[in-house]
Amino acid sequence: MVDLTRRALLGAIGLGIVGTAISWPRLTGADIPGRGGDTLTVALFGTQQDAMARQSLVAGFQRKHPTIEVRIVAIQGQDWSEYFAKILTMIAAGTPPDVVTVATEGSQLFASRLAHPLDDYVRRDASEMQEYFDDVHPSLIESFMYQGSLFQLPDNFNAANVFYNTQALERAGLERPADNWTLEDFLSTARAMKQSASGQFLPYFWNNRLWGGAVPWLYVNNTSFLREEKATGGDWFWNRFYPDERGRSGGFVWQQADALNERSIESFSVLQSMVSEGLAANPAQGGGNELVSLFSTGSVGMTPAGGFWVQGLAEAGVANDAYDVTYFPRMAGQRHQFGAGGYAIMETSSRKDEAWEWLKYCVSLDGMRIAHPKPDSSSPRRSLNTELYGAGVGPAHWEVFYDTLEKFPDTGPMPAPPQQAAVESALIKNVVSTITNGPSGVRRGLETMQRDLELALGGR
């Protein structure tokens, strides 16, 4: 059964098993022979240093649950797809973890094949869990629903917002954009920044990726490159924990490619025009290291980023008054994009009860304060973001990070079906050609994207 699951999952993500040296540090003392079978194994996407940083979290958990030993497994990879493939290596080797960290990119992949639904545990401990759900926006919870069941509890998230260089804005003679600024306002701001700058300067810099790439420009135009639908079910959860919410569902469904709808064409045409006019970078696939450097030296006016960037800019020596944050501008709407992360319990685990206790502790106030002491992601708990970003730590308008959910309640997760890796590849493969071959090249590029997306989704 495990081998069948492994083959099915490999087919879904389009990856081969990647060999890896995995570190298994016991963070609760020296290994004791014969007791490995009684240890709760938690896999995380990160380095040995990331695993060691969880030592205080493990210690806090064991103060509450002294009989449950925990082992943290640090798994390194270039991206989430490689991390998921390495989890499969562990399953195939007969050493599967009990709990795994999973981001939005892999939530449905795991929910559809490897993760255990949390429904029975949430129902059983409803009174205890109410405090958590009262503190968390329902959009974050809905993003971890799949086919009517809940598979993860979010412990971090990042919405895609617009970070801007305050000096570039002031140099252009402009004030902070209004929360409901429009595309025309954005373009006017970009042009003013460019005209007032000297030397090499880009008003808007972005990367070709799923989070913070082209997708925010689709979302604010009330569209996407996949058709978004909602699964039925989930009433058991919403009626109990969010009784005043309307229109919530059993989770998001992305089954059909939709790159050629008119609003998608319009959004990509806007990006094409911005690049052609020299207002925006010609995007290149990759991470944010170059972007941090460009932004910190004043060579970039605006860029998409989230609360995680506060820590990154601080580490780069950027003062918190040298930048600020606002919302993406309005087109047909002003819906935003986010990604979230949390722990999932593996279906193969024989320690599901202990794993549930770990999940509960990690999203408790104490657990989240220990796990996220720095502003390296926004907290799903409203009550904790002041501790992360307030008191001069974050930019002046750091409230934007959580208010993106509050002010734009239709804000949702990035498109991430079970075939997410293939879907993301189809998107990234075609973005640059779509926006760099002139106005007439936009539709042609999206036609190719549509074809590749249909292949990634199995012909739909």
| Token pair listed for 410 | 């239709």
Mean pLDDT, the chain, as a whole number? Answer: 90
Q: What is the pLDDT of residue 28?
A: 35
Question: Long-range contacts: 314-323, Cβ < 8 Å, 24+?
Answer: 314/375, 314/393, 316/292, 320/392, 320/393, 320/394, 320/395, 320/396, 321/166, 321/395, 321/396, 322/165, 322/166, 322/167, 323/163, 323/164, 323/165, 323/166, 323/295, 323/395
Q: Which residue is it, tokens 């007439």?
A: 440
Spatial CB neighbours of 237, under 8 Å, sequence gap ≥ 6: 119, 122, 141, 145, 150
Instruction: Tell me if 369 sits within 8 A of 384, measured CB to CB.
Output: yes
Lowest-confidence region among 48-57, 96-105, 159-168? 48-57
Find the helix packing angle between 420-435 and 104-113, rounded to 10°. Answer: 150
pLDDT score recorded for residue 437? 94
**The model's pTM:** 0.91
* Length of the chain as a residue count: 460
Residue 149's φ and ψ, nearest 5 degrees, are -115, 155
What pLDDT score was predicted for residue 447? 98
Over 70: is that where the pLDDT of 119 sits? Answer: yes
Residue 287 — very low, low, confident or very high, per pLDDT cuts 50/70/90?
A: low
3-class state of residue 373 by DSSP: coil
Round the CA-based radius of gyration of the chain to a whole number and report it: 22
Residue 127 has pLDDT above 90, yes or no: yes
Task: Name the token pair of 437.
Answer: 């071959």
pLDDT greater than 50 at residue 2: no
Contacts of 147 (CB under 8 A, 6+ apart): 111, 231, 233, 250, 251
**pLDDT surpassing 70 at residue 267:** yes
Residue 229 CA, chain-centre distance (Å), reads: 19
**Contact assessment for residue 449 and residue 437, using Cβ atoms and an 8 Å cutoff:** no
Cβ–Cβ under 8 Å, residues 242 and 137:
no
Indicate the burial class of 71 (C-beta count within 10 angstroms; 0-12, 13-18, 19 or more): buried
Which of 289 and 299 is assigned the larger pLDDT? 299
Does an H or E element contain 435, and which?
helix 420-435
- Measured CA to CA in angstroms, residue 113 lies from 76, 107, 345 at distances of 22, 10, 12
Share of the chain above pLDDT 70, in %: 90
| C-alpha–C-alpha distance, residues 211 and 389, integer Å | 22
User: Per-residue pLDDT averaged across 361-368, rounded?
Assistant: 98
Predicted confidence at residue 289, as pLDDT, reads 64
Query: Can you give the pLDDT at residue 285?
Result: 52
Report residue 41 as tokens: 């194994």
pLDDT tier at 68 (50, 70, 90 boundaries)?
very high
* List of residues 6+ apart from 117 with CB closer than 8 A: 111, 149, 150, 151
Average pLDDT over residues 318-340: 97
Across the range 278-307, mean pLDDT stands at 84
**What average pLDDT does the segment 440-447 reach?**
97
Residue 292's pLDDT is what?
Answer: 83
CB–CB of 401/159 below 8 Å?
yes
For the residues 418-433, what does the mean pLDDT come to? Answer: 95
User: 433-445 burial string, b = 16+ CB within 10 Å, else e?
Assistant: ebbbeeeeebeeb
Closest CA to 92 of 14, 13, 18: 18
Q: Is the pLDDT at 415 greater than 60, yes or no?
A: yes
pLDDT score of 263:
98
Residues 6+ apart with CB under 8 A from 326: 161, 162, 164, 176, 177, 179, 181, 397, 400
226-244, pLDDT tens digit by residue?
999 999 999 999 999 999 9
